[in-house]
Amino acid sequence: MDRNVMKQMLDEKVKNVEQIVYQFLPEATGWQRTVQEAMNYSVQAGGKRLRPLLIKEVYELFGGTGREIEPFMAALEMIHTYSLVHDDLPAMDNDEYRRGRKTTWVVYGEAMAILAGDGLLNFAFETAVKAFDYVKPEEMPKVAEALAVLGRKAGIYGMIGGQTADIEAEDRQEPLTSEQLLFIHEHKTAALIQAAMMIGGILGGADRNEIKLLEKCAYNIGIAFQIQDDVLDVIGDSQELGKQVGSDEQNHKQTYVTIYGLEKSTEDVEKLSKEAVEILQSFSRRNEFLEALILDLIHRRK
Amino acid sequence: MDRNVMKQMLDEKVKNVEQIVYQFLPEATGWQRTVQEAMNYSVQAGGKRLRPLLIKEVYELFGGTGREIEPFMAALEMIHTYSLVHDDLPAMDNDEYRRGRKTTWVVYGEAMAILAGDGLLNFAFETAVKAFDYVKPEEMPKVAEALAVLGRKAGIYGMIGGQTADIEAEDRQEPLTSEQLLFIHEHKTAALIQAAMMIGGILGGADRNEIKLLEKCAYNIGIAFQIQDDVLDVIGDSQELGKQVGSDEQNHKQTYVTIYGLEKSTEDVEKLSKEAVEILQSFSRRNEFLEALILDLIHRRK
């Protein structure tokens, strides 16, 4: 698929995804309205909406036509958002701006940002549980399985596990081993992409083997995306990337590129993304938009 | 039931409840072991284990005999614990000690305490979802309903809503209205007690009307417990209570007693607890231990 066609479709699809996600946001009302406002401010701060988009695209790839994915799309975006709200806190990364807007704690104060993050994480599960209302009794096991995947990939065996390893690596000031670096990328980044593609597959009717393949496909996407980030830090056009080129090196940060060198890193991005697309192409249906999106994500210049 | 008999039974039951809850705690292993250690440190810090105990007692009151309540018992205690871990943070109440032990952020640092709280909240839902594995397909709707109650009572329409109103009331420095005070008590305290009793009822097979009655019963228990707290602050023996008597007044804190006076407050505790026990006695089975426990909780001298 032509890149421009894909980009145009992407714009449309992201608008549609945002509409779905926003439907599930809480109304800000009552004595607890401030936490609801802070939650909505955080979710409405924009972003690629990649995770809910992936749920929907994979769901449709497997022939899904129902609405039970909608609560999961909103839930996953809430989980992604809460992790940013808590990451930005002074005790974590201490960031005052994200995507050009003031971060949640800067606008609402630290206490309210902690509660807004908690509120989003809790509300994510509250929202996902609503999917049971959209299915027939015999489909309930699929929803339960999707819930289990959501929980595992977001928690200590997924994203929170990766954040923990990342924070400790920064504190320790020792060079990362390649195993540690891959653990962090797999858990901090790939886990929620795995959640997205697996949930789409599970609800769309993928069989056990196909779900395994989706997990592997999403792993490749997440890791390739992160390696490309490291590659761009070295070779990228600083204007396009929006940060100082070579900043990782200046910070003495151990990355995939500092461990394996530029050549192998670039080769690995190629290999991982080729494999990811081959997995997608192995299924009985095709989704050319999804294939083009994934290649674009990984091969981005910024 | 004699108070001493009840107390002896309570000790046994709490031990049993702790054993069940601890079974679901994560093993501390791998690159993410620190967050798992911090989570376990927090849950193992002790406490009355009231919420998981209430789940079990109400479940048995309705004739439940399965094991699908066990993941919910652990989940609710994890949610209660995460709320304490985040409450103790410097940006919230800034508490260094709880139950005579250093709080989680003092031992593991602020960043890890934020992650441990997030980890517990996420793991609570991961754990509760396991209940689907313990039931027959036709019982899945009950588990889904219990999950929905867990989410609602813990989130912005429950506990987090109450915490938000409480923090804002403290910041605002205006005297609380009685509606605001009841909102805070209902959501910050009663909501998780409601979750416990409703989940026990739902999984035990209570009908819709009985679940409504359990919600009302738990509301009364939570509110009476809080009013009694305010009463004890005025009249209690400071040694027994473990805090300075009259400290609320010294802090110019608006409480039920400062709004309604001591006499009406004491009467209301009586009225609320009598109603709560009458609700329990209206069901076809009796649980005399539970009735005695509730009266003891509300009428405690410390």
* A151-193 pLDDT tens trace: 999 999 999 999 999 999 888 777 889 999 999 999 999 999 9
Work out the percent of chain B whose per-residue pLDDT is above 90: 84
Average pLDDT, chain B: 93
Grade residue B78 by pLDDT with cuts at 50, 70 and 90. very high
Is B108 an interface residue toward A (CB < 8 Å)?
A: no
Residues B122, A155: C-beta atoms closer than 8 Å = yes
| In the predicted structure, residue A242 carries a pLDDT above the cut 80 | no
Picking from B26, B112, B184, the nearest residue to A156 by CB comes out as B26
Q: Tell me how far apart the alpha carbons of residues A134 and A126 are, in angstroms, rounded to a whole number.
A: 14
Nearest Cα residue in chain B from A170: B111
With both helix axes pointing from N to C terminus, report the angle between A69-87 and A159-172 in degrees, rounded to the nearest 10.
20
Can you give the pLDDT at residue A173? 74
**Per-residue model confidence as pLDDT tens digits over A95-147:** 999 989 999 999 999 999 999 999 999 999 999 999 999 999 999 999 999 99
* A57 in Cβ contact with A14 (< 8 Å): no
Buried/exposed B42-62: b ≥16 CB within 10 Å, e otherwise: bbebebebbbbbbbbbbbbbb
Residues B122, A151: C-beta atoms closer than 8 Å = yes
Least Cα separation, residue A172 to chain B (angstroms): 13
Tokens read off for B178: 């009685």
**Per-residue model confidence as pLDDT tens digits over A125-136:** 999 999 999 999
Picking from A82, A111, A184, the nearest residue to B91 by CB comes out as A111
**Per-residue model confidence as pLDDT tens digits over B255-291:** 999 999 999 999 999 999 999 999 999 999 999 999 9
Give the residue among B70, B23, B130, B155 at the shortest CA–CA distance from A151. Answer: B130
Mean pLDDT of A198-217: 98
Contacts of residue A84, defined as CB under 8 A and 6 or more positions apart, other chains included, come to A42, A98
* B85 in Cβ contact with B127 (< 8 Å): no
Cβ-defined contacts of A25-28 (< 8 Å, 24+):
A25/A74, A26/A123, A26/B156
Least Cα separation, residue A4 to chain B (angstroms): 39
Can you give the pLDDT at residue B14? 97
Work out the percent of chain B whose per-residue pLDDT is above 70: 94
Residue B66 vs residues A25, B10, B69, B147, B203: alpha-carbon distances, Å: 36, 21, 7, 17, 9
What letter would DSSP give residue A139?
A: G
**Per-residue model confidence as pLDDT tens digits over B180-221:** 999 999 999 999 999 999 999 999 999 999 999 999 999 999
Average pLDDT, chain A: 93
Q: Enumerate residues 17 to 76 of chain B having a beta carbon within 8 A of any beta carbon in chain A.
A: 26, 30-32, 34-36, 39
Can you give the pLDDT at residue A251? 62
Q: Enumerate residues 145 to 184 of chain A having a beta carbon within 8 A of any beta carbon in chain B.
A: 147-148, 151-152, 154-157, 160-165, 167-168, 180, 183-184
Most confident of A247-256, B14-23, B230-239: B14-23
Residues B164, A115: C-beta atoms closer than 8 Å = yes
Can you give the pLDDT at residue A122? 98
Residues of A in contact with B32 (CB under 8 A): 156-157, 160-162, 164-165, 187
Nearest Cα residue in chain A from B132: A144
Write the ipTM. Answer: 0.95
Least Cα separation, residue A156 to chain B (angstroms): 6
Please tell me whether residue A263 adopts helix, strand or coil conformation. helix
Grade residue A233 by pLDDT with cuts at 50, 70 and 90. confident
What letter would DSSP give residue A27?
A: P
Residues A39, B141: C-beta atoms closer than 8 Å = no
Residues B164, A31: C-beta atoms closer than 8 Å = yes
Residues B30, A161: C-beta atoms closer than 8 Å = yes
**Per-residue model confidence as pLDDT tens digits over A12-39:** 999 999 999 999 999 999 999 999 999 9
Residues of A in contact with B121 (CB under 8 A): 118, 121-122
Higher pLDDT among residues A249 and B74, named by residue? B74
Can you give the pLDDT at residue B246? 64
Buried/exposed B116-153: b ≥16 CB within 10 Å, e otherwise: bbbbbbbbbbbbbbbbbeebeeebbebbbbbbbbbbbb
Residue B244 vs residues B192, B232, B251, B265: alpha-carbon distances, Å: 27, 10, 11, 20
Residues B165, A26: C-beta atoms closer than 8 Å = no
Can you give the pLDDT at residue B189? 95
Picking from B86, B111, B151, the nearest residue to A114 by CB comes out as B86
Residue A160 vs residues A186, A221, B22, B56, B298: alpha-carbon distances, Å: 11, 19, 21, 30, 39
Mean pLDDT of B64-71: 97
Residues B92, A111: C-beta atoms closer than 8 Å = yes
| In the predicted structure, residue B52 carries a pLDDT above the cut 80 | yes
Can you give the pLDDT at residue A246? 63
Domains of chain B as residue ranges with CATH: 3-298 (1.10.600.10)
| In the predicted structure, residue B249 carries a pLDDT above the cut 90 | no
| In the predicted structure, residue A240 carries a pLDDT above the cut 90 | no
